[in-house]
Structures are given as C-alpha cells and as structure tokens.
Amino acid sequence: MIINLAKLNIMDYVLFMRSFYQYKDKPILFAHRGMNSYAPENTLPAFQLCLDNNIPAIELDVHLIKSGELVVIHDFSTKRLTNKDYKIENLTLSEIKELDVGIYKGEQFKNTRIPTLEEVFQSFSNNLLYDIEIKSNLVNNNILAKKLWALIRKYKLEFNVIITSFNPIAVRAFEKVSHHSLLQGIIFSKDKSVPFYLRKGYGQYLFQCNISKPEVNLLTNNMIQRYQEKGTKLLPWCIDDENKAIELVNKNVFGIVTNVPELIVKTNLFKQ
C-alpha cells in the first residue's frame, strides 16, 4: 500500500487520519522510549507496560547495524546501558544480542536484550502507534530508509507510524523511498550535542515536513501559532509536568512525548 499524502484531497486526508489514529479529537500521548521509569528504556518490557496501562503510542529509536538489521536503542554507543563501550553501527546482531540492557534497572530485568524493530512489530503490531526516530549521522541513508519502509509495509503499519529525526537528510531519504506515504517530521533542540544549524528546526525545509518536534523549552506562543497556521502538527518533547501537558493540550498540539506517561495519562486529555 502506497499512500501519497501530498496528493490526498481533504476528505481522503481526514479518512487517512481517522484510520491512522482512530481519531477521537484528542491529542496523542507518546511514551518516550516506552515506560522507561518502570522498565529498561526502548525494550519489549517497556513497550508492553504501555499496552498494559492504556498508553496508546511509543517513541523509539532505530539504528542500522553492521549485519543489516534495524535495532531499537537510543544512544550511538552501548556504554550508558551496559558499561561496555561499543559503537552500535559496528556490531552484528549476534553481538548485540549478547548485551544485557536490563540489569541497570534491577535484577528482575536481567538478561533483557536490545530488540530489533521487527521484534517490536511482531510483538505489538497495530496495537500501538509508533514515533520512530531515525538515529543516523550519515549523509547516505538509503539502505536504512529502504529497510525501514520495507518493515513498515511488511507488517501493514502504514497507518500506525510517523517518522522523525534530528537528521533531515535521513528523513528526506525515507520520504523518497516511501513516496511521501507517512507523516514525518524534524526534531530540534538547543542542546550542544545538536549541530548549531539544526537547533531551530531549519532541517524541515529539506523535505515535506508535516510534523515539527521541538524540545519543549523552545516552544513559544508565536512558534505554535506559526506552525499551526501553515498546517504543521506540533509534537513537543519531553513534557513531564502535568500542568504543562494540560497547557499544551489547550493550545491544540498534535500530541506530546513524555517520560512519565503513567502520570500524564491521568489527565484524561489524551487518546486512549
């Protein structure tokens, strides 16, 4: 199934959005790397907790590794989670599966492994919505983009996935192979780890951006108004304060990304 958003008329677009998010006139609550307060981040247990607690959507990160699979982990190195310093892209899947990314969270999560994106799709299918962040510092992302699009299509999740990244070239590569089929957006932050030319969202001009994903401390009323006037959906991150979440919902954001979905969901302001 190939759905070119750029060519949909308004009624088709409404139908697409209703199919995609079972539309209920409510913003969407995305759990940042799953329920990471209670389980190891970006793992099957963290995502399962979302399903068990009526959290409808997850944000996760994907890397293309040496043996060709897409794996779900945030950092470019394994050091923070495993105390073993390997670069993700240089590992094979068998090497990655030897790493324990659960023990740091407690003995009950010992031997939790880094999942492949395919394992996530196999486990949760269309029972969750996915904000898939492409993690890549490369200029040429064609292989990653093709593999990502193939997996989404294999599991018939075109209506359950949005694609985002700090790297606009990676999103542009995905846009090309998917024929503008999904909602896609740029992430930006003023953090010093982000190249200065990507800290204000200028990467959005390199592709057809339907979603803007700013760090919450960059949001201003003028920014919200400007993006809404041009039809760009706002998905700020990370909102871990209940009052801030309510404020943003009242400003008609598309959704929010949070580290504490178990708290924010209690506002009953979000799709469940």
Catalytic residue among 32, 63, 179, 180: 32
pTM: 0.91
Indicate whether 4 pLDDT > 60.
no
Assess whether pLDDT exceeds 70 at residue 12: no
* 74 included as an active-site residue: yes
> Tens of pLDDT along 144-170?
999 999 999 999 999 999 999 999 999
Residue 94 has pLDDT above 70, yes or no: yes
pLDDT score for 119: 98
Kindly list the structural domains of the chain, giving each domain's residue range(s) and its CATH number in brackets, ordered by start. Answer: 5-59+116-267 (3.20.20.190)
Question: Who contacts 57 (Cβ-Cβ below 8 Å, separation ≥6)?
Answer: 28, 29, 30, 31, 50, 128, 129, 130, 131, 255
More confident position, 268 or 235: 235
List, for residues 209-251, the tens digit of each pLDDT value: 899 999 999 999 999 999 999 999 999 999 999 999 999 999 9
- Specify whether the CB–CB gap between 180 and 164 falls below 8 A: no
Range in 14-28, 61-75, 108-122, 187-201 the model is least confident about? 14-28
pLDDT band with cut points at 50, 70 and 90 for residue 98: very high
Helix axis angle, 117-124 relative to 44-52, nearest 10°?
A: 20
Please state, rounded to an integer, the average pLDDT across all residues of the chain: 90
Cβ 85 vs Cβ 40: under 8 Å: no
Q: What is the pLDDT of residue 15?
A: 43
32 is catalytic: yes
User: Residue 139 CB: number of other CB atoms within 10 A?
Assistant: 9
Among residues 63, 74, 179, 180, which one is catalytic? 74
Please report the pLDDT score of residue 7 as a whole number: 53
